[in-house]
A and B are shown apart, each in its own frame.
Chain A
Amino acid sequence: MSRTPLSIAEVEAACDALDALPDAELATNAAARAVELLAMGEDVVAAWIAARGAEPTNAEVEGFRLLALHRQGAKGVPSFNACRETCRELVYHHNLVAGDPVAPESAQRLRMATMITRHLALFIGGKLVVEGLGDFCCSSRPIRQADVAAPEAMEN
């Protein structure tokens, strides 16, 4: 069954709604919720890629589209790597729940997955609102891009 991708704002709202649920309700149909959270993570990263004029990939890395999307999104924008582990944590928490959906820890795992997804939405949403935001951070851009200005001006 096809699923309509959510906007970043919708993902944020969905995460807030999930986070507001009591544990018992959150853990109801845990496996499906884990799948939906992973899909929301994909929506967020795909939105970033689309906003930069590229077609979000449907490929998978290590069996997950989210990781392939992250790799695609980070190309040429190394500061995007600041969400590398966030993506991986989301996959990890998805797997924890998918592996044993009725485990007593399911609600806690889903709550964490919700917060991870929300972080992804906030981080990428922030970068979309203000172009270049975060480019100060990981700072590896100059390491990977050779055409940066030389400081001759400082020598005059």
Chain B
Amino acid sequence: MEKDLKKVAYYPGCALEGTGYAYNKSTKAVAKELGLGLVELKNWNCCGAMEVKNIDPKIQTYLSARNLSIAEDMGFDTVMAPCNGCYHNLKKAEYDLTHDDKSVEVNTRLSNKAGHKTYEAGKVETIHALDWLKRAVGDEEISRRVKKSLKGIKVANYYGCMYTRPRHIFPEKDQGPGSESSSNPHFMDDILAAAGAENVSFPLKTACCGGAHTLSDSDTSTKLVLNILTAAEAAGADVIATECPTCHTGLEMHQVRAEKEFGKKTNVKILQFTQLLGLALGLSSRKVGAHENFSDARDFIKEKGLG
């Protein structure tokens, strides 16, 4: 039987307090509107992001495990992480602690040293915001709650690369009907279709956005993003929906850089899926943080009668 996910522990992660502020705001606004509860982890720490795990993956496992330990201490068996990087890292920690004795040993040692309870695999399930809305609410209920349909809006759903990779840390995916697919994810498509949007066929939905290249090779990142934006436009999309703060910021910033550096202008709008969903649920443009995005889509929102 599906457990009750109406109230879950919330791990926003660092990005949602910075560049992903609007994602945080719109996620909370959508939760409130749908009568869902998010209880932020107390004194959470960095998940180990991209940098720590490349230098010492066991430290990253420990850092993520500490957050899971906090969730357990707070009495939750589920933690929701809306950032792909955080989601991925917490899932990876769960995998490490299930399959690797050395990771268990290091986690125990560091947890003892830090003076908190050691997290043991299997106690807390990590889910993404997409899983959460699909499982706690579902497409039908979302459809029922829509006040301003996204009808007529063509959306390219962009999942990025970390939501599904590596496949083995996501054992719940690829389990047949109703489960998420790691090769052709569709939860965001489903949710936005339930809100009335018309999803376009988008072959680059899990392609690399160049996030890790941003500082070391900006031109590569810009070209990767430009190709994603161009493909979305060629697919007929008015807007790209994102579900990761890093991808979102990358798309926004490199859209500007592509025009500045390469003279390539794209007009496709970029919004977090929670912003689109929030608008469909009748929330104002301000409530979903549209004015907080780097790329301004407020005219588009107004023109579509959503704001």
Contact = CB atoms under 8 A, between A and B. Distances in A.
Interface of A: 19, 78, 81-86, 88-89, 92-93, 108, 111-112, 115-116, 118-119, 122-123, 125-126, 129-130, 133-143, 146, 148-151, 154-155
B246 to A, nearest CB: 10
A154 B57 contact: no
Nearest to A81: B165
Nearest to B204: A119
Contacts of A133: 212-213, 216-217, 220
Given A81-B166, A82-B161, A116-B204, A139 B53 contact: yes
Contacts of B89: 139
A5 to B, nearest CB: 22
Contact of A126 (B60, B62, B203, B224): B224
A78 B167 CA distance: 11
B26 interface: no
Decide if the interface of chain A is mainly helix, strand, loop or mixed.
Answer: helix
A126 B169 contact: no
Given A116-B204, A137-B50, A141-B54, 20 more contacts: A85-B184, A86-B204, A112-B235, A115-B204, A118-B227, A119-B204, A123-B224, A126-B210, A134-B208, A134-B212, A135-B54, A136-B51, A136-B54, A138-B165, A139-B57, A139-B89, A139-B92, A142-B58, A143-B166, A151-B56
B58 A83 contact: no
9 contacts: A81-B166, A85-B206, A85-B207, A93-B203, A119-B208, A136-B54, A140-B166, A151-B58, A155-B110
Contacts of B169: 140, 143
B106 A151 contact: yes
A127 to B, nearest CB: 9
Nearest to B221: A126
B234 A155 contact: no
Nearest to A116: B203
A54 B166 CA distance: 24
Q: In the complex, which of the residues A108, A118, A122, A146 has the most CB atoms of chain B within 10 Å of its own CB atom?
A: A122
